Chains A and B, each alone.
Chain A
Amino acid sequence: MNNVFGNKRAVLVFVGPALLVYSAVMLVPVLWSLGYTFFTGSVITGFKFAGFDNFTKLLSDPKAGDALLFTLKYAVILTVGQVLVGYALSLLYVFWLRKASSLVRTLVFFPIVLPTVAVSLLFQKMFEVAPQNGIVNEFLNLFGIASVDWFGSADTAFLVLVIMDIWRSMGFYAVLLYAGLLDIPEEVMESARLDGAGGLTLIRRIVIPLSLPVLLSSIIFSINGTLKVFDSVLALTNGGPGSSTTPLTLLMFRTAFSYGDYGYGSTIALALTLICLLVTIFIFRSSRRDLTKA
């Protein structure tokens, strides 16, 4: 039987093609990209060796600093927002709506499957101020509040971006966390109730600690996704006004394709990858320490 399962040729036949495509189109380019960080230029203009210039440039470039700050700000605010709103919804589903929640779950989930570009363009029109007020401004006018030029200033543009992305993802995180809440053993809940825990105490003392693992994986997933934000920014604000809503991903894209500097672009991409890695490890580590303490 070992002949059947240990058949070397079969291994090659089954895993070989996938490994080949994966290596050629992902692993090799990652290494190649590392090589680019020591060069300047592009495939069209030709490359020139630049030593560590790209790295020193990255550290002193105010644009890169702004983009990094924006990326971190967006990632932190959106991760907190997504997971909090998602968690609130999932608690709502489990403890309040109960059986009635399936339809609500299904409907609130759907924005995540819609194309980001389409959603962004829709939100652009919803928050529009000229030549026509979108429904958001019309709604504000209803209460006597003057129309706001949402995409005219950095803060309001950022706000619209956050609102849109939470709208898109809250149902997804709700379902993700809902599955975790269902895993809490019924006996634990029941005995806590018998001991007199109700409402908020039950949630604070039993539900939150017991759903910590799934909360943690949601946070890691969310932060990894939000650090790489690209589609929604490009389609909604295109980085503007000015470059006030430009994350690292968009800066990298512009550097490489508008200014034709693959070397610096790759350096930014590398920085982004390292940040993702560090943040993931950091969250993982700090959570483990907390768990052993408790």
Chain B
Amino acid sequence: MTVTASAPARVSSSANAARPVRRRRRMTPRRALDVTLKTLVIGLLLAVTVLPLIWLLLGSLKTQTEWLNNPSWALPENFLNFENYATAWVDGDIGRYILNSALATFPSLALIVVLGVAAGFALEVLVWRGRGGVLLLFLAGIMVPGQMILLPLFSAYFQTHLTGTIWPLILTYTATGLPLTVFMMATYFRAVPREIFEAAAIDGASIYRSFWSIGFPMVQNAVFTVALVQFFFIWNDLLIALTFTSVGDYQTIQVGLLNFTGQFGAVQYGPTFAAIAINVVGILALYLFLNQRVMRGLTAGSVKG
């Protein structure tokens, strides 16, 4: 996947116009100013975005004495000092929190994908009365703030003795993820030509076969994008995790991190920074690896309005 995939068409014409100037090899003062200004702006923009992270990573390598005796911008004395990470991982229990997050996130994602893709297929490809209404019903869910459903769910989970298990998280994440997923999947299925499904039906394929052998493979890419978007929502969620894991051992990484500073925050800089860094670096790696897809998915998910 190339990064320049969506470069604007108009660029070429203006680039052509600028070329004769460049061919002279000597920069006119105006052009030199232009280049300098551009470099400055890009540099400033990148500095603003990236510097906090660099500070985070450097800070996670410093010892407590370095933190207290040197200014906060000082470089670590030993760049290979990973002790803070060990402390965060062992004493701070970050490993367990990450495991909990994974236990909540991946089953929810699987459920969201299976239920959402099937529903999107039924709403777009199948013909039945009331499908417009059902689609609207799902759409309405995008607007509802999480606060609106927290208290009844808390009561329900409490009375069914699910509180303290991983189930409240999985169920709630699945349900809150469905509206957007159903909506996005319906949009993607709309782009698949109907004739393909009709041809399959003429060839004698049942609707289940049609879905499994044609519909699903054709939107596979979209499914991955949608799952990725939901992954970020669920993994980074605080509200639901905080509500349903106040009791029990299933605190997610976000809740754990919040408590972590409660435990060590004011006193222990290094481990706190290491814990934040662990949480950030994994997500960052995922993003750098799949950046175009993430950007497309997240922006597509927002046009819902």
A residues lining the B interface (CB < 8 Å): 1-2, 4-8, 10-11, 13-15, 17-19, 21-22, 24-30, 32-33, 36, 43-44, 89, 92, 94, 96-100, 102-119, 121-126, 128, 131-135, 138, 167, 171-172, 175-176, 179, 182, 186, 189-190, 217-218, 220-221, 224, 228, 230-231, 234-235, 249, 252-253, 256-257, 262, 265-266, 268-270, 272-273, 276-277, 280
Contacts and interface: CB of A to CB of B under 8 A. Distances in A.
A276 B253 contact: no
Nearest to B254: A117
Contacts, number: 301
Given A15-B122, A25-B171, A102 B7 contact: yes
Given A108-B45, A113-B294, A186-B10, A7 B126 contact: yes
Interface in B54-82: 55-56, 59, 67-68, 71-73
Contact of B115 (A21, A32, A122, A131): A21
Contacts of B258: 117, 121, 234-235
Nearest to B304: A221
Contacts of B100: none
For the complex of A and B, the 7 pairs showing the least CB-CB separation, nearest first, are A25-B175, A14-B122, A32-B152, A18-B119, A29-B152, A29-B149, A18-B115
B3 interface: yes
Contact of A99 (B15, B276, B299, B303): B15
B3 to A, nearest CB: 4
A11 B276 contact: no
Given A18-B116, A26-B175, A113-B283, A98 B151 contact: no
B119 A7 contact: no
Given A22-B175, A106-B3, A36 B152 contact: yes
Contact of A104 (B42, B235, B272): B42
A217 B305 contact: yes
Contacts of A1: 198, 201-202
Contacts of A106: 3, 291-292, 295
Given A6-B127, A22-B137, A273-B144, 17 more contacts: A22-B141, A25-B176, A36-B151, A36-B152, A98-B7, A98-B14, A113-B283, A116-B236, A117-B258, A121-B257, A182-B8, A186-B9, A189-B10, A228-B145, A228-B147, A231-B254, A256-B151
A234 B134 CA distance: 35
A37 B117 CA distance: 35
A21 B110 CA distance: 14
Specify which of A36, A89, A118, A218 lies most central, judged by the most chain B CB atoms within 10 Å of its CB.
Answer: A118
B211 A14 contact: yes
Given A14-B122, A19-B119, A273 B148 contact: yes
Chain B interface size range: 35 or more
B85 interface: no
Interface string B283-296: 11011100110110
Interface of B, secondary structure class, is helix
Specify which of A36, A103, A114 lies most central, judged by the most chain B CB atoms within 10 Å of its CB.
Answer: A114
Specify which of B67, B159, B174, B287 lies most central, judged by the most chain A CB atoms within 10 Å of its CB.
Answer: B287
Nearest to B121: A14
A134 B42 contact: no
25 contacts: A5-B125, A7-B126, A14-B122, A25-B171, A26-B144, A30-B148, A33-B148, A43-B155, A98-B11, A98-B14, A106-B291, A113-B232, A113-B286, A115-B279, A122-B276, A179-B6, A179-B299, A190-B10, A228-B147, A249-B239, A262-B151, A265-B147, A269-B147, A269-B148, A272-B148
B214 interface: no
B261 interface: yes
A230 B146 CA distance: 10
